[in-house]
Homo-oligomer: A and B are copies of this chain.
Amino acid sequence: MQFISDNAAAAHPKVLEAIAASNRLDAPYDGDEWSQRLDDAFSELFETEVRALWVSTGTAANCLALAALCPSYRGIVCHRDAHIEVDEAGAPGFFTGGAKLILLDGEGAKITPETVAAACDGIRKDVHQVQPAAISITNATEYGLVYHSGEVAALGKLAKERGLAFHMDGARLANALATTGESPADVTWRAGVDTLSFGFTKNGGLNAEALILFRTDLADEIEVRRKRSGHLLSKGRMLAAQILAMLEGDLWLDNARSANAAAQLLAQAAADRLVYPVEANEIILKASDEECDRLQAKGFDFYEWGPGQIRLVTSWDSDAQAVDRLAAAIAGL
C-alpha cells in the first residue's frame, strides 16, 4: 500500500482518453488545436489574460520561469527545503547559467516577508555579493502547508517594493486551493505572482504541467528557452489534451479534494503525532524506528523523513481501504 508519493500514481482515465482522442495528425509543436486552446482556458480560470505553456515536468516548468525572471548573475530567494534547492539536481543553476539560490529558514518550508527582507538586507549592495532578482515559493509547501492568499500577497507586496520577480511552484497548488477554497486568481496574480508552475502530473495527469505566465511579455523568451532545453514536444497536443481534460469540469479540483480527504483521515488518526498541521495531501508525523518498522511490516510504504519522522502522501486515487487500514494502524501504534 503506497503512501510514498503522489508523483507516481496512475493517471486519471479521462486523461488517458484525452491523449487517445488527440492522437491524430495535426500541426506540430504547439500549433495543434489542443495547445492553441490553453491560453483561453487558463485565462478563464485565472480571470485575466495569461499565456499558458505545457511542459513535461515540474522541474522544467520551474526552471524555465526562473531563467526568465533571474539573470545568471543574480539570485533567487527561496526556502532552504524548497524543491528547486533540494530535489532538482541543481536545475535552476543549469537553466539560469549559474544564478544563486538564496536560502531562508522557516517552519514547514514557508517563507515570510520578514525572512525575505532580512536575507535581502544582509546582502551588501555591491558587485561582490550576489543580488536577489526573484522570490520563489512552493504552494502547498514541501511539508504540505498552504499559503493563503493574504500570505502570498504580503510576499508579493515585498517583491514589488524590492523590485523582485515572484514565482510560485504549484506542483500541488490544486491541493492548496482545494483546502482554502480560494480562487486561483486570488492566490496568484492578484497577490503579485508573475509566473506559476501549475502541476497536473501529481494530481491525475500523466506527464503534464502548465507554465502560467501572468506577465505575458515573458512568453516569447520562454518559448525559445523551452525549445532550447529540449522541452518542445513535436506532438505537444498530447500534453495539452491532458491539461484540458484536467480542467474540464474541474477534474483538477475533484482529484485534489480526494487526495486531501484521504490525508485528513490519516491526520485525525495521527493527531498527536503531527509535526505540521495537515493542510494538503502530505502528512509528516513522528514515529520511532520501531513504530516505523511495524507500519512497514503491515505493508505500508512511505518515506522515512529525517530522524523520528515519516512522510505519508495521499493521491487522487488513494485506495480507501488502504487509507482506513493505515489510519487504524497509526492509531494503534
Contacts and interface: CB of A to CB of B under 8 A. Distances in A.
Interface of A: 2, 4-5, 7-11, 16, 19-20, 23-29, 32, 55-57, 59-61, 63-64, 71-75, 86-91, 93-100, 127-131, 201-202, 206-207, 221, 223-235, 238, 317
**Secondary structure at chain A's binding surface: helix, strand, loop or mixed?**
loop
Oligomer copy total:
4
B233 A207 contact: yes
A2 B45 CA distance: 35
A230 B128 contact: no
A91 B8 contact: no
Contact of A2 (B10, B25, B99, B206): B25
Nearest to A306: B122
A198 B247 CA distance: 34
A19 B16 CA distance: 8
A316 to B, nearest CB: 11
A223 B57 contact: no
Contact of A230 (B10, B24, B55): B55
A30 to B, nearest CB: 9
Contacts of A55: 230
B127 A234 contact: no
Contacts of A23: 10-11, 16, 206
A95 B202 CA distance: 27
A25 to B, nearest CB: 5
Among the interface residues A91, A98, A99, which one has the most CB atoms of the partner chain B within 10 A? A98
23 contacts: A4-B28, A5-B234, A8-B26, A8-B27, A19-B19, A23-B206, A29-B127, A56-B230, A60-B229, A60-B231, A61-B230, A63-B230, A72-B97, A73-B89, A73-B225, A88-B228, A89-B227, A91-B229, A127-B224, A127-B227, A206-B235, A206-B238, A231-B231
Contacts of A16: 19-20, 23
B28 A10 contact: no
B94 A93 contact: no
A233 B56 contact: yes
A285 to B, nearest CB: 21
Contacts of A129: 86-87, 89
A28 B56 contact: no
Given A7-B28, A26-B8, A235 B201 contact: yes
A32 B57 CA distance: 17
Nearest to A98: B93
A235 B11 contact: yes
A234 B88 contact: no
B98 A94 contact: yes
Contacts of A96: 98
